[in-house]
């Protein structure tokens, strides 16, 4: 390498370190993404390479490698214990891998950030169980997420700008809860709570959304509407959806998108749903049961 290149490499690294240091010190929970922090020049939103996680010697992830493009909607399927949730735990900083690389955009090394900072730079996660503030109204729940960097009390007394109100109205329509805005969240159906939680994530405008079994416990109609919602979000956000419900996965992939099959902590197969469904190894470990 020429001295010039070495110097520019060192400069880039120093700039990166400064940016990460700023994130590490200033990053409050749910802090919105500041322009220019994450760079998506290569069309890649999320990159995992050779990620391994062991629990007492058992490899929950075993050299897992995966790339999600900007705006892509990717479904991840696989048997119980395949490592799907563990993968999300690693991306969001809840679990530290033993080895491997996880990066966001082309410039953020997620393994150097803590959980709240990862949420703050635009990675939203939906757990299986909805976690909304039950005593508050639907509107208040959304309002809180929009202003998650203030405390709960401060947020409720802080007035929304006209633009923020418009944004919340828009979100309410998107998540099919417009008529429920003044209702107490605790009174919503299970499916509606799931939508509210998705709305709360969207209020923070994440670049990447991780959704772990989002339609578990939903009625067929709620499941269909959730598929519609995710298809609307595709392109504007990158989505990683883990699901066992194959008709839901089929609706999301629309016969043309790739799905990834995980098994024993690594990728067993990747391709169109019809292709992986016909794959003997996949049938044996998962679909044939
Ligand atoms: N904190 C932990 N300590 C010990 N073992 C764990 C821990 N978390 C996960 N595991 C194990 O790692 C493996 C992968 O679990 P994981 O929850 O990621 O699977 P999954 O693909 O999400 O399965 P499911 O479809 O049932 O949700 C399982 O064998 C699980 O028991
Ligand atoms: Mg799981």
Share of the chain above pLDDT 70, in %: 83
CA angle (117, 240, 86) in 5-degree steps = 65
Other Cβ atoms less than 10 A from the Cβ of 202: the count is: 23
pLDDT at 89: 97
Residue numbers of the domain that contains 177: 3-287
pLDDT tens-place string over residues 27-51: 333 444 454 589 988 899 999 999 9
Ligand 1 pocket member 81 (CB < 6 A): yes
Q: Ligand 2 mean position to 190 CA, how many Å? A: 19
Distances (CA, A) of 161 to 32, 99, 143, 150, 172: 16, 45, 11, 15, 17
CATH code assigned at 203:
3.40.50.300
Output 283 or 15, whichever has higher pLDDT. Answer: 283
- Whole-structure pTM over 0.75, yes or no? yes
In this prediction, residue 25 has a pLDDT band, given cuts at 50, 70 and 90, of very low
pLDDT at 150: 52
Ligand 1 atom 8, closest CA: 86
Q: Picking from 1-5, 155-159, 245-249, which range would have the lowest pLDDT averaged per residue?
A: 1-5
Q: For a substitution probing ligand 1, which of 84, 125, 262, 268 has the most ligand atoms within 8 Å of its CB?
A: 84
Nearest ligand atom owner, CA of 87: 1
The sign one gets for the Cα dihedral 265, 94, 174, 225 is positive
Q: Ligand 2 mean position to 185 CA, how many Å? A: 25
Distance of CA 18 to the CA centre of its chain: 26
Ligand 1 pocket member 85 (CB < 6 A): yes
Q: Picking from 116-130, 150-164, 226-240, 263-277, which range would have the lowest pLDDT averaged per residue?
A: 150-164
pLDDT tens-place string over residues 105-139: 989 999 999 999 999 899 999 987 778 999 999 99
Ligand 1 pocket member 80 (CB < 6 A): yes
Q: Ligand 1 mean position to 59 CA, how many Å? A: 10
Give the number of domains in the chain.
Answer: 1
Q: Ligand 2 mean position to 242 CA, how many Å? A: 8
pLDDT tens-place string over residues 137-193: 999 999 988 866 555 555 566 678 888 899 999 999 999 999 999 999 999 999 999
CA distance 225 to 63: 35
Output 199 or 130, whichever has higher pLDDT. Answer: 199
Ligand 1 atom 11, closest CA: 60
């Amino acid at each position: 390498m020429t001295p010039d290149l070495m110097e520019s490499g060192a400069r880039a690294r120093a700039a990166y370190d400064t940016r990460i240091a700023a994130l590490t010190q200033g990053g409050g929970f749910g802090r919105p993404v500041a322009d220019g922090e994450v760079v998506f020049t290569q069309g890649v939103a999320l990159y995992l390479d050779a990620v391994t996680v062991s629990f007492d010697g058992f490899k929950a992830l075993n050299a897992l490698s995966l790339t999600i493009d900007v705006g892509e909607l990717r479904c991840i399927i696989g048997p119980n214990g395949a490592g799907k949730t563990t993968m999300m735990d690693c991306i969001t900083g809840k679990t530290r891998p033993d080895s491997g690389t996880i990066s966001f955009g082309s410039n953020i090394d997620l393994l150097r950030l803590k959980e709240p900072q990862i949420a703050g730079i635009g990675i939203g996660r939906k757990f299986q169980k909805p976690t909304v503030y039950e005593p508050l109204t639907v509107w208040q729940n959304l309002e809180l997420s929009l202003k998650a960097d203030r405390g709960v009390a401060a947020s409720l007394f802080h007035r929304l700008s006209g633009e923020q109100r418009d944004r919340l109205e828009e979100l309410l329509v998107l998540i099919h809860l417009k008529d429920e805005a003044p209702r107490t969240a605790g009174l919503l159906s299970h499916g509606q709570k799931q939508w509210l939680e998705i709305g709360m994530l969207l209020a923070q405008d994440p670049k990447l959304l991780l959704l772990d079994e989002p339609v578990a416990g939903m009625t067929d109609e709620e499941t269909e509407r959730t598929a519609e919602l995710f298809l609307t979000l595709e392109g504007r956000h990158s989505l990683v959806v883990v699901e066992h419900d194959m008709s839901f996965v089929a609706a999301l992939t629309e016969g043309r998108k790739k799905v990834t099959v995980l098994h024993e902590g690594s990728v067993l197969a990747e391709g169109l749903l019809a292709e992986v469904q016909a794959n003997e190894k996949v049938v044996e470990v998962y679909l044939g049961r």
